[in-house]
Every structure is written in structure tokens, then in C-alpha cells.
Structure 1
Amino acid sequence: MSSSACAPSDGPAQPGRPIVEATNLSKRYGSTLALNDVGITVRAGSTHALVGRNGAGKSTLVSLLTGLQAPDTGRIAFDGQPAPALGDRDGWRQRVACVYQKSTIIPTLTVGENLYLNRQARGLAGLINWAGLRREARRLLSAWSVDVDPRQPAASLGVEQRQLVEIARALSFGARFIILDEPTATLDAAAIGRLFERIRTLQAQGVTFLFISHHLQEIYEICDTVTVLRDATHVLTAPVAEVSRQRLVAAMTGEQPGTAGADGRSAPPADAPTVLSVTGLRWRDRAPEVSFTVRAGEVVGLAGGGGSGKVEVAESIVGLRRPAAGGVAVEGREVRPGSVPAALAAGVGLVPQDRHREGFVPMLSIAENVTMTVPRRLGPAGFIVPGQRDALARDLIDSLTIKTPGPALPVAGLSGGNQQKVVMARALANDPRLLVLITPTAGVDVRSKQTLLSAVDEVRAKGTAVMIVSDELDDLRSCDRVLVMFQGAIAREMARGWEDNELVAAMEGVDLHHV
């Protein structure tokens, strides 16, 4: 452990030279082409933005730039020298580091222990020199102006402090190229401002950043250059000052202004009764209050990027999360906060975000999974009659075209798309008055996606209120209106007929009409 590798320079030497060059990178996972002949050049002393919709290829590119995976084709160079061999982890750490949205700090260790994990100073008999470790950690943090005590338990750090400690740890290896993956997703406005000041200070000390964010307004605040990926390909690289907001969003979506989200379906009648009322809901302390209603037969989208709060609000409505404040009522009856049984009793059906952890029990049969929320419908006095259970399951299997030899097959034996249909079937088994779908088509094929979204049209025609919580445009096209969340608050409501560019811009916190 030595402080020589971690000392800041007097500023970026040879400003503008390429600190990393990636050319003709391609990566395939089975039949999925995750990256197709993509290149990026990041110049020393800059903050270079990497943007794109979900599935654009950003995560795959980061995994290649950090040496976690090898490209199928193409080359990567740092400061003009070829990237280290894939197994040379020390070589990669000396060139590049990524601060991920999900922290890699170990909460049960101190800050100093996290900084020098597995490379602690050793004293007599090979024992850890704790005084030396704390001294080196204090020197490292001071050198990069990180105001944290190395003796402090990492569990007590805030999100902002954890990010700075991770940056300092990366710099201690000698890396001067740092990738920031959604660094502002869970920060409030004041913390974002402080983070940007730290970025500018570190730039002046010779550090270069690749900045990944779904909040496009931040690109204009902190970045010099922007690269856009779309559908695994490179679309655009240009100075930020030369890219209008309209052009940036169009590059991400592939759509020009005028692409409307309407499909001609009539909206529910104006006198349709209110099914869902959300009043003053705060999903965590100090989060903005959220209030809205959904009427019978209405499909309302809740959209937003990472960290917007859309999933947390939805989970608060269905009882998976206990909100910090506010109330939820279904057909005028208050629903006990944080209680899934209370939500089910009120007539709420749910397709959760993570089908593997929350959506089904893999080794139980399709029939058992589909009917587990409606035992009263399966036999008298709490007894389950297998024939009744299987009959209900077959009806739902046929309705959602689940490909299976029969209801007795374990759900683990189904494809991902059919597993998601089972989750939808369970949500529909109770004939819900309110159906909440959280990212309902993530990871499913096109045909399964069409089936799932067709089911939404069928239930809304029966008077069910539907909420679709997603940032996928295809999921939201069937909505009568879309509530767009940004940094925890409902920032905008968009009626049917919205344009793709307008909706994406709203989710990214960008005003397309800003000059």
C-alpha cells in the first residue's frame, strides 16, 4: 500500500489526448447482439456522456471498457496502449474504474478498510498495520478532498459519501478514467450540485469521466461531449453544446417529432367512477408528495427513469412497501399501508417488477401459482378441490395462451415469456378492480408482449382500472394518459396522442422547448 500511486497530478497533462479509444466493438450473447460495431473515444480532462434507452448497449460497453468481459471483435486502448489481458485485474484497475449505481462498498467495514481491502499495510509477522492503514487512508482522502473519517463505519455513509469513497478507492490504484453509472439516481438536487462540483474539481486534478445518466438535463450541466447508443449501435458523438435537446432525444428514440402514441381507442367516459385514489403519498421520508386518481376502465401509465420513484410508488399502492406518509383508497375504502393481504382484499391485482423473486414459486405447478391468491374459490370451508383449481387455471392458460402441456407443469419448466403470463394470470384470477403492472413486458419476446398487453385491453373493457408502471414506450402506448415522474415527483401529465420524443424527454427531465 503506497500513497505515491494515489497522489493527484497538477492537472490533466496533454489535455484532449484520447485517454481511452474503443473501435469496432461487437458482443453477442447467444442470439442477442448486444453491441454491434460500436466505437467511443474519451479525451483526457473531459466529462463524456454516454446515453441511450434501456437495451441500447450501455451496460455491455461498460463491461468491455472495464475488462469484465472480452469483446467478440474490436479493440480497446488506454493512452494509446492496448488494454491489458482480461485476467490482469491489477492492470485494468490502474487504468479504469466504474462507480456503479449499486454501491460496492462493504457496509460492515470501516471506510479505511474499504479503501484498502486485500492490500492492507502489513507489520511484524504479517499482521495488518491498522495505524498505517488509517494513516494512508487519511492521506488518500485528503489528497482528493473527500471529507470522510477513515475510521467511520461504511454503513453510516450517505449515498453521496459512498460515491466519493468509491472514486477515491479507484484513484488509489492509479486509475484516472472513472465511469459514473447513474450517479445521481438516488440523490436530491442539493447533493447533485455538490457531486458536480466534485467532478469539476477532480477534472482539474487530472481525472477524466464517462458519465451515464437517464437525466438528460444533467448532460447539459456537466458534460463536454455526448455519445448516443441505440439498439446496440453507435448513433451520435458530438460536443454537447452543438446538440439540441430535440436532436438528442431523436437520436435516442430513432423517432422524429410527430410520432404520436394514440391508437384510436376511445377514452373511458367522463363520469366513470374513481377506483384508485392516491393522496399525499410519500414513499420515503422527505420524498415529494404524490397524488392522483384512476377511474374505472381507464389505463394510466406511471413513467420515469431510474430513481424517479415510479416503482416505489406502485409498490406502496399494492402493499409491497409501507409508505412514509399518505393514503391509498380503492373504490373509496382505505387500504391498510404496507399490507399485501389488505390490497388483495380490496381488489388489487399485481404483476410485480421481479417475477423470479416476487411473481411465482418456481417448483409449484402452474395451477398452484395461478390460484394461490384465491383459495376461497377452490372449494368449501377452506379446502382446495383440485378439479376446481385446475379448471380455473385452464381458463387462464387458454386466455393468455400459456404454452404448457397442462396446469400440473412446474412454472420452472416454462420459458420466460410464459412465466410472465403465469404471473399475469395470478393477477387476473381475483377479477381485480385495480390491476397494477410493474414493467410487465421486461425480458419477454414480442409475441408474449402482445398477449400481455392485449389482456390489458380486455380487463379495461370490463371496467377494471389499470396502472402500467414502465419506461418502455410500447407498454405505455395503450394508456389513456401517462403520469411522468422525475426525482420522486409527478412532473408532467401527458394525454393520449403524446409524441415519443416528448414523453422520453419528460422522463429524462428535459424541456424540449428550452432554448
Structure 2
Amino acid sequence: MQEPPSGGAPPIVEAIGVSKRYGPTIALSDAGIRVHAGESHALVGRNGAGKSTLVGILTGLRASDTGEVRFSGEPAPPLSDREGWRQRVACVYQHSTIIPDLTVAENLFINRQPLQRGFISWPTLRREARALLDRWNVSVPEDMRAGDLRVEARQLVEIARALSYGARFIILDEPTAQLDGEEIKRLFVRIRELQAAGVTFLFISHHLQEVYEICQTVTVLRDARHIVTAPVADLPKSRLIEAMTGENVHLDIADAAGRVPDPTAPVALTVERISGEDFSDVSLTVRSGEVVGLSGSTSSGRVGVAEAIAGLGRYRGGTIRIGSRTLPSGDVPTALSLGVGCVPKSRHKEGLVLSMPIADNTTMTINRLLGPLGFIPPAKRRNRAEETIRSLGVVTQGPEQLVSGLSGGNQQKVVMGRALANDPAVLVLMDPTAGVDVKSKEALLGVVERMRAAGKAILVVSSEVEDLRTCDRVLVMRHGSIVAEHKAGWSDNALVASIEGIEAL
């Protein structure tokens, strides 16, 4: 682990020799981290490496079995002292803790509103909220409904709320997972400004390029253990991946550049001039055995088109056909019966029931096929789940494990298994590798190649270059319309320039 600067102050936070076990599972083993004031420190590792457990210990949400946590050289407060923890550390999670139906001001001072004669003083609340937002240069209206904020604005409101308690150490958990390129740039500008104002960040991300863009130091966990802490500038990306995986590897993804699609293959998916809330007059086709990418920024309309094809969203005008049969607007059961499989954008909101086991999650789209009147024979249910676990490499204790207990990468594999359960003719994959580690990404994109070889028509909806490299062609959307098409073999610069709406250099 890195040493503090010579003669400098003690680390703003330090975990020393922490271990945590859940039954037979070792979540952390004699791990540690040391973060110095004023830096952005990356915490990386594959899903299941121990990152979430360490964050829980650093934020006082769980106790370690051994070891200790210190803030600025002093022992951490008792777990029961929630106010003491809030004054030292806060975590902005990938899934927002903002209450959408409250205003920004109400969210900033939830459970600590200023009172006057026993009642909330709304003028004082709004005034103090405005002062807090101005202090940290968060340009959102204090009386705006929080649910109407863009994702990056919600994150900044959460950071401001944490800073208002006195915390100057903020953990950012996958902060860019739901942001497009321009939003990420703006967020990084704000992180640098907050660093200059004395805020320290622990930055958790699976996007390794972002680690090199925003962080000064990186700590790697693997198999519940601390592997290395080093200055980012001293750790090339190949060595960083090797530290994360324990292998000297590169991302092994099938590249479509040398592939020649069959122009005589039947058209499996036809989209003709459909419009929706954030897209207009969109047309595309995908043939059996073809992988087509649909890319663009978060606000481009790509997700709206994908959800319309999967029956999750409504469309007006135009036609969507699966083979020769028309898909009605906003009709998931018909989409399933016509042979559409879908990995939705949010595995937590639309892809999984976290409180149910793997077996139930992987079979919920095919209940009618496994038994009458919704009753599924236990043996069929278990066999289906075991097939998913085996074919996708889900790391689990078994089919009855709750999906809430799986790592992010393994949860995404369960979502993929559910999408494949009804043997679909058309697969719609929305951000299929978002928030997963290198090995899980490799496994999930390997499924795309297997399904293509089996003759499935696949629509990969993503802005991730690695996801799109598997595609025979990539359609780019901006402002709700398809504006460009790139054949396999495109350069990264050309594709990214097209997505961002700038001229390639």
C-alpha cells in the first residue's frame, strides 16, 4: 500500500487488515486501503472481488470481523453513531437514494428540516438549500421536483447533501454508468473542482479508461484480497487488468471486421418509420445471423427504440414486425410469443426480482411452457436454472440462491439467461455489459457470438465501443433519428465522433 507523503497528514481514511465472512463465503480477507486527502482514488476489481463489502465497512453499514477503520488517524465511530459516520463519509450509489417526489431542498435536508414553532419553515428550508447548492456550485433549482433532474444533477445533489453534514470524503459507486459522453465530461469537471475545494473521492468503476482520466491512485482487489495500490501513472492498463484478473489477458471479443454477413438470410426484425416519446421516423432491419448495433448518447432515443421493439415501450405510427408478424405497441406478452428476447437497460428495475432465487428469475418468461396453470414442476424449474448457470458461467451457490446475493456480473448473466429462455428469434440487448467486470463482459459478449452463429438476429443497443465491436454494422442515433451507419471495421475515433456529433480528427 502507498505511504503518505513525507511529513504529511494521516490518510483521510484508512482500512487496516479488515476481513469479513458470511457463513462459508469470504467477502474480504485481511484487506485494506489508504486514501489521502484531496485525491481521487480508484477502487477496482472484478465483480465479487470485495469492493461492495469494503465500501460497507468504510461507510459504517457493516462491521468487519477483524481489522479497523480510521479517519484522519482517529478510530472510526461506533456503528450506532450514524451522525458520526455521516460527518466523515458518504456514498453516492449507482442507484440514486434521492426521493423523486420531493423537491431538491427537501432531499437536501431530509429528516433535519429547519423548524419554527414546531413546524417546518419552508422559506428557511429553501433559503438554506439555495445557499448549500451555491456553495458547491450545483446549478439546479432548489424547488424543482428531484425526480425531474438529469442523472448527473441528482448525483451532484447527493454530493452536496453529504457535504452539508461535514463529510469531505465521498465514495462514488459507478457514477458514469447511466451517463453519456458529454455528461461524463461535465461530471469530471465538477469532481476536479470539488477536489480543489478540499473534497476527497473514492471512485469505483469498471470503465478503466475513466480511472486514468480522473484518478491519481488506484487500489485493486481480487478474490477478497488487496492486490496492489499504486499511482495511476505508474500502472499501465495491461498491468491493471492483470492485477484484477490474475492473468496476463486482453479482452477476448469476437470482432465482426472480418465477417461477411449473408445478404440472403431472411429478415427477422423490421422496423418501419416508428415514432415515440424521444424518437421519430426510425427504420431498420436485422437479418437472421446478423448483429446490428444501435448507438448514440443517453438522450439520442436509442433506448426508446429498443424498448419499443421489446414491447417495453410504446410507439406510434409505423410498424414493427418479427418475421412476418406485426408487434403491437407496448405489448410484452406478444413480443415474447413472437420470439423476442430482451436484456433491459436496468437489470434492477426491469430485469430481475432481487428477492427471488435464480431459478424463478430465469424461468419467469416461460412459465406457460413448463407447466399448466402457472404451476412449474420443481425438476423442470431446477433443470432450466442449472442449464443457465452452466452455459453462462454464473458463479453461485445454486439455483435457489437469491439474485440479490450475486455480484453485478452474475446478476447480468441471469438476466441474459432469462432473455434466452424462450429460444428467441430476435435478441434485444440494452447496455448488456454495463457495470460488469472484464471477465463478465467477455462472457456476455461471447453469448452474442454464440447466438449469432445459431442464426439469431441481434440488436445491441449501447454506446460502449467494446459492445459494438461484435456488430456487423452500427447505426448511430442523434436527437431521435438515425444519422449514420458504420460497417464493421470502423475506427474507434470515427464511431465516437459520430456518436458525439463531432468531426473525426
- 1:202, CA displacement in angstroms? 1.6
> Aligned match of 2:231 in 230, 239, 250?
239
Structure 2 length normalisation: TM-score? 0.67
Question: Residues 363 and 316 of structure 1: is their aligned pair in 2 closer, same or farther, counting only changes over 3 Å?
Answer: same
Which deviates the most, 205-214 or 339-348? Answer: 339-348
Letter in 2 for 1:154: A
Residue pairs, 1:59-458, within 5 angstroms = 59-124=52-117, 126-257=118-249, 260=252, 270=262, 272-276=265-269, 285=278, 293=286, 295-296=288-289, 315-322=307-314, 329-331=321-323, 333-349=325-341, 353=347, 357=353, 370-372=366-368, 415-416=400-401, 432-434=424-426
* Cα drift, residue 484 of structure 1: 10
CA distance in 2, matches of 1:487, 1:17: 49
Rounded to whole Å, the distance in 2 between the matches of 1:307 and 1:237 is 37
Give the distance between the partners of 2:301 and 2:24, measured in 1 at CA. 33
Residues of 1 paired with 2:400 and 2:96: CA distance? 32
TM-fit CA distance, 1:416? 4.1
Alpha-carbon distance between aligned partners in 1 of 2:46 and 2:189, rounded to the nearest angstrom: 27
State the partner residue of 1:30: 23
Residue in 1 that maps onto 2:36: 43
* Contact preservation (8 Å) 1:359, 1:423: no
Contact 1:186 1:307 in 2 (8 A): no
**Deviation of residue 80 (structure 1)?**
0.2
* TM-score, structure 1 as length reference: 0.66
3-state SS of the aligned residue for 1:76? strand
Change (3 A) 1:491 1:433: closer
Looking at structure 1, the residues matched to 38 and 309 of structure 2 have their Cα atoms a distance apart, in angstroms, of: 46
Go from structure 1 to structure 2 and tell me whether the alpha carbon gap of 1:42 and 1:325 turns closer, same or farther (over 3 Å shift). farther
Change (3 A) 1:141 1:333: same
Matched residues in 1 for 2:204 and 2:12: separation?
A: 17
CA 1:38–1:103 in 2, change beyond 3 Å: closer, same or farther?
same
Are the equivalent residues in 2 in contact too, given 1:351–1:427 (CA < 8 A)? Answer: no
Q: Tell me how large the CA RMSD over aligned residues is.
A: 5.5
Q: Distance in 2 between matches of 1:210 and 1:341?
A: 43
- 1:15 CA drift (Å): 6.6
Structure 2: how far apart are the matches of 1:390 and 1:150?
A: 51
Q: Identical aligned pairs, as a percentage? A: 49
Structure 1 unaligned blocks of 5 or more? 1-13, 379-383, 404-412, 444-449, 471-475, 496-501, 510-515
Residues 121-149 of structure 1 show CA distances to partners (whole Å, capped at 9, x for unaligned) of 2333x333333333322322222222333
Q: How has the CA–CA distance of structure 1 residues 369 and 45 changed in structure 2, closer, same or farther, with 3 Å as cutoff?
A: closer
Choose 250-259 or 99-108, whichever is displaced more.
Answer: 250-259
- Quote the Cα distance in structure 2 between the aligned partners of 1:487 and 1:221: 26
Q: Name the amino acid aligned to 1:340.
A: V
Q: Report matched runs for 1:479-494 at 5 Å.
A: none
- Greater CA deviation, 59-68 or 108-117? 108-117
How far residue 313 of structure 1 moved from its aligned partner, in angstroms, is 7.1
Aligned equivalents of 1:27, 1:61: Cα separation in 2: 9
- Whether the 8 Å CA contact 1:360–1:423 is kept in 2: the answer is no
Following superposition, the deviation at residue 370 of structure 1 comes to 4.3
Q: Is the 8 A contact 2:18 2:32 kept in 1?
A: yes
**Over residues 349-369 of structure 1, what are the superposed CA-to-partner deviations in whole Å (9 max), with x where a residue is unaligned?**
5687567549999999x9998
Structure 2 residue 42 is the aligned partner of structure 1 residue 57: no
CA-CA distance at 1:494 after TM superposition: 8.5
**For the structure 1 residues 422 and 120, does the alpha-carbon distance in structure 2 shift closer, same or farther, using more than 3 Å as the test?**
closer
Q: Which residue number in structure 2 is paired with residue 512 of structure 1?
A: none
Residue type of the partner of 2:58? L
| Amino acid paired to 2:400 | S
Cα shift readout 1:84-115 (whole Å, capped 9, x = no counterpart): 11111000001001112222222332222222
2:13 is aligned with 1:20 = yes
Q: Secondary structure at the match of 1:372?
A: helix
Question: In 1, are the aligned partners of 2:364 and 2:418 still within 8 Å (CA)?
Answer: no
Tell me if the contact between 2:77 and 2:84 (Cα under 8 Å) persists in the aligned partners: yes
- Are residues 152 and 417 of structure 1, via their aligned partners in 2, closer, same or farther at CA, if it must alter by over 3 Å? closer
Change (3 A) 1:111 1:225: same
Return the alpha-carbon distance in structure 2 between the equivalents of residues 363 and 398 of structure 1. 9
Kept in 2: contact 1:98–1:181 (CA 8 A): yes
